[in-house]
């Protein structure tokens, strides 16, 4: 069965304290892995798409990487405005469905 697992469930960081969020996946025929940011009361906002192992994408303080089994979202020198829930999703061949993890709630303290 296709599955996506995110860890940790919650993470508290001091401002400037770098860390990584993990997204492990078990799917047959990965088509894409997607990272989203979700703020309270809002819908998920697209951040990155990764397609193949070894690929990396960067945006400001965020960097996403992909291996054959997992993806990491690295947050460098986070600021309080980076506080949000980060969601990971995958899409697979043979279906138009997307499978979401349950997210990591990130809190960055000033």
Partner 1 sequence: DAGITQSPRYKITETGRQVTLMCHQTWSHSYMFWYRQDLGHGLRLIYYSAAADITDKGEVPDGYVVSRSKTENFPLTLESATRSQTSVYFCASTGQGNNQPQHFGDGTRLSIL
Q: Where on the chain is the footprint of partner 1 (CB under 8 A)?
A: 31-32, 34, 36, 41-46, 49, 51, 87, 89, 91-92, 95-98, 100-103
Distance CA 63, CA 103 (A): 17
Q: How far is the CB of 79 from partner 1 (least distance, A)?
A: 23
Backbone dihedral angles phi then psi of residue 17, each to the nearest 5 degrees: -90, 105
Q: How far is the CB of 97 from partner 1 (least distance, A)?
A: 6
Identify which of residues 87 and 108 has a Cβ nearer to partner 1 in the complex: 87
Q: How far is the CB of 61 from partner 1 (least distance, A)?
A: 20
Q: How far is the CB of 48 from partner 1 (least distance, A)?
A: 8
Identify which of residues 14 and 68 has a Cβ nearer to partner 1 in the complex: 68
Residue 28: CB atoms within 10 A of its CB come to 9
Q: Would you call 22 helix, strand, or coil by DSSP? A: strand
| Chain mean position to CA 37 | 8
Distance CA 87, CA 18 (A): 18
């Amino acid at each position: 069965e296709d599955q996506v697992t995110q860890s940790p469930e919650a993470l508290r960081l001091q401002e400037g304290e770098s860390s990584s969020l993990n997204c492990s996946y078990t799917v047959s025929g990965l088509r894409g892995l997607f990272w989203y940011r979700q703020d309270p009361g809002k819908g998920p906002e697209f951040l990155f798409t990764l397609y193949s192992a070894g690929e990396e994408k960067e945006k400001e303080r965020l960097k996403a990487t992909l291996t054959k089994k997992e993806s990491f979202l690295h947050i460098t020198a986070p600021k309080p405005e980076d506080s949000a829930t980060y969601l990971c999703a995958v899409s697979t061949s043979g279906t138009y469905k997307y499978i979401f993890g349950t997210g990591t709630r990130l809190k960055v303290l000033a």
